[in-house]
Amino acid sequence: MAIAWASGVNTDAYGMETDGGDNVERVEFESGKNRTYLKNTSPKKVHAFMLSMDDVGLGSEFKKFVYWFENSLKSGSLSFMFPNLVTHTGEKEYRLIGSYSASGQHKKEISLTVEEM
């Protein structure tokens, strides 16, 4: 079951890139003939995006995100609900690929890469 997004952390994703994913299995027989097969009827898309967060004070948005990532999301081992990145309506379940990366001091830019569940 997916966990809720971090409380007090914005969901204003920007700079999104989407990868349709490799959903085709290619097989070459000894005769030299090639065949292709679909792996899944519904391929999982991969999205990379950024979030901008304040990092000033003990209860900053960034510190809330890090706490959620380490304790609730279990360092990315669980899936989570986030606003649908394609339709922009409702929520969708995503799983983090790798970890997050952050740059900046008082204003952090967080980079995330997720796959649809």
Domain membership flag for residue 58: yes
Which domain, by its residues, includes 34? 14-116
Domain membership flag for residue 2: no
Domain membership flag for residue 6: no
**Alpha carbons 99 and 112: distance in angstroms, whole number:** 7
Residue 44, both tokens: 């999982």
In DSSP notation, 50-73 reads: EEEEE--STT-HHHHHHHIIIIIS
- Domains in the chain: how many in total? 1
- Cα dist from 68 to 33, 86, 108, 112, whole Å: 51, 24, 16, 14
Q: Inform me whether the pLDDT recorded for 14 exceeds 80.
A: yes
**Alpha carbons 112 and 94: distance in angstroms, whole number:** 11
Domain membership flag for residue 9: no
**What pLDDT band is residue 21 in, cutting at 50, 70 and 90?**
confident
Domain membership flag for residue 100: yes
Can you give the CATH number for the domain in which 111 is found? 2.40.30
Question: Exposure of 46 by Cβ count < 10 A (0-12 exposed, 13-18 middle, 19+ buried)?
Answer: middle
**What pLDDT band is residue 113 in, cutting at 50, 70 and 90?**
very high
Domain membership flag for residue 3: no
pLDDT in tens, 80-104: 999 999 999 999 999 999 999 999 9
Domain membership flag for residue 4: no
Q: Inform me whether the pLDDT recorded for 13 exceeds 80.
A: yes
